[in-house]
Amino acid sequence: MQEEYFDIVDESDNITGEKKLRSIVHSSGDWHRSVHIYFYRFQNKAIEFLIHLRAKTKDLYPNRWDTKLGGHLKVGETWNKAAKREINEEIGLKVKIKNLSEGEKVKNTKSLLNREINKIYYYNFDRNINDLKFDDGEVQEVKWMAVSDIKNGIKNHSDKWAPSIEEFIRVSDFLISEQNKFNSDILLELKCLK
């Protein structure tokens, strides 16, 4: 498989015009872009995330549980196009960008060598897990897990998880606040109808 090139960005996410191979970017600490997509559902009035066990062959966090899908942007690729491509490549699902909720851009500074600007997306997945396909060899297993169970898992067994507890709290808190806003809007509408 041919190694891919990434656009290099500065710390403020401005494209510098440089393009480098993935292996060089990850060994030299250049800023680059990636997308993170969180699949979630509402189950018994609580949020669950679709988590997956990363392949043993992954260069980053092999054989660990992860709460997000995603990957790097290719040279010249937009955030939205990368999100759609990554979902299709990793789990065989074609989605329309209008069905993804956009989150924030976040700087990943966990490592001096893997410095990324991450654009976050959320997808409310209400279909059966059996509808997903794992043909690219990046995912070993998937399952639904409640927010509290994920938090406990990361706190007690961080060596078995890809995300940090801070990263997961940020995304789960975002979804919880969105759910609360949605529920408040519905209550307000119901009051107006009376």
CA separation for the pair 9, 67 (Å, rounded): 25
SS3 state of residue 5 = strand
Token readout for 69 is 């899908």
Token readout for 42 is 């509402």
CA separation for the pair 31, 76 (Å, rounded): 15
CATH number at residue 140: 3.90.79.10
Q: Are 124 and 132 in contact (CB under 8 A)?
A: no
Residue 35 clears pLDDT 50, i.e. is over it: yes
Give the whole-number percent of the chain exceeding pLDDT 90: 59
Q: How many structural domains does the chain have? A: 1
* Close Cβ partners of 76 (under 8 Å, ≥ 6 residues apart): 7
- Looking at residues 15-32, what average pLDDT do you find? 93
| 137 band by pLDDT with thresholds 50, 70 and 90 | confident
SS3 state of residue 152 = helix
Token readout for 189 is 């509408």
pLDDT in tens, 58-103: 877 899 999 999 999 999 999 999 999 999 988 888 999 999 999 9
| 181 band by pLDDT with thresholds 50, 70 and 90 | low
Segments forming the whole domain that contains residue 111: 5-193
Beta strands 46-54 and 139-146: pairing type? antiparallel
